[in-house]
Chains A and B, each alone.
Chain A
């Protein structure tokens, strides 16, 4: 695991110039416009950089040799999740610092705790992206995987539309008051909602990890 992590960090180190450009760009944008985009922009870059390590592993048919080293398919998959967590944590923290910095420069008032709470939503979103993307990239390869994601977004869009129709159906036919339910969720304490959200995300991540290790076990090179 340590060796894999060093390999990936060294590969990512090659992109440090690009990373600095992204951060500087983010800094300028945050000064000139609303800075709330930072917590979605930088973690997105972070996650994409981590996914690029899967492309690097596959590039020049590197996987067969990699899998002859002292590691298993399971360790390979778990390391990608771990790297993603690190990527999200680092990029999110940088985003938060930049956001607070730009607010201080612009002399805007802010409540730090509230800001962290709001920004934490993007952590959940990117953990969900990771739990969806890693199994797809491992199964179909980095390039095909990215094409697959478009297909999945299309399916998700269809599901959302169907879901909205289903809500209307439930509302009309079964007499369940959806608005009241939404209101109830709105009134649930923030902390409880956060625990529920992170709990669901953790379960989805565990399922995703199990799928990824299964994919790696079955893979031939």
Chain B
């Protein structure tokens, strides 16, 4: 669905250089700190910026060559951009109806009602949760093959975040050939949604792994410094030394469970993984 090879884009003080692949029927998460390069990658995928180098193919075409019909197959929600705040949902329905031939007005109206979104109020009167829900509802309203969502849950409370994640799960269940690329810095949101995760930092992909592997095989080890010194470190990905102990991220927690009974082995969450990889050493 998306193939990126050596995508390069430079801004003052920032260089992006990433490669990634998103297969049909998968949900892929792009995680990283603010300013890591998530939005720049997404903008390049959407054709909003011109890359300085590398190749991008989205649904078999370069984003710069997208026709209107190609764009109809894209559902997009951006964290910092959306419909004019002066419009209301009725206005948006009229616009979407004219823009997308597959716009499913009945379902869109029904979902907006379910989420208690008012149809006649301008968006400027919406709460941030309501605005975020509307963005996602609009993105999934026209049977897009590919959803590209940049921080769709940013700044929302846990209930609003769950609502959005539920909408995305339902969207995938409707047609398994669809794909989603979702970026977030709240990685716990992505654990129950994504098939695989790319971690980006300082404009580079530093980790790509299946979510099941991260949650099943990865682990967090806690031990004393002496234990750490004598330990086999072949499956250690990152470590962090505190005054009293050492915390490590491993890609093979079973190995340490079997061979180092004194070491505390915990399941890893993506958030812990980020803290250890990006904040380690």
Contacts and interface: CB of A to CB of B under 8 A. Distances in A.
B81 interface: yes
Interface in B22-62: 43, 46-50
A220 B48 contact: yes
B249 interface: no
Contact of B83 (A62, A70, A221): A62
Contacts of A57: 84
Contact of B71 (A11, A56, A71): A71
A65 B81 contact: yes
A61 interface: yes
Nearest to A71: B68
Given A68-B74, A70-B69, A221-B49, A3 B95 contact: yes
Contacts of B78: 64-65, 68
Interface string A69-83: 111100100000000
B47 to A, nearest CB: 8
Contact of B91 (A10, A63, A220): A10
Interface in A159-200: none
B141 to A, nearest CB: 12
Contact of A69 (B49, B71, B85): B71
A73 B137 CA distance: 25
B94 A68 contact: no
Interface in A82-139: none
Contacts of A72: 67-68
Interface in B88-134: 91, 94-96, 98-100
B86 interface: yes
A90 to B, nearest CB: 20
Contacts of A14: 86
A150 interface: no
B48 A68 contact: yes
21 contacts: A3-B98, A7-B84, A7-B87, A10-B87, A10-B91, A10-B94, A11-B86, A11-B87, A57-B84, A60-B81, A60-B82, A60-B84, A61-B81, A63-B81, A64-B80, A65-B81, A67-B48, A68-B48, A69-B99, A70-B99, A72-B68
Interface of B: 43, 46-50, 67-69, 71-72, 74, 76, 78, 80-87, 91, 94-96, 98-100, 148
Given A5-B98, A7-B84, A68-B76, 11 more contacts: A3-B96, A11-B84, A56-B84, A56-B86, A61-B80, A62-B81, A62-B82, A65-B82, A70-B69, A220-B49, A221-B48
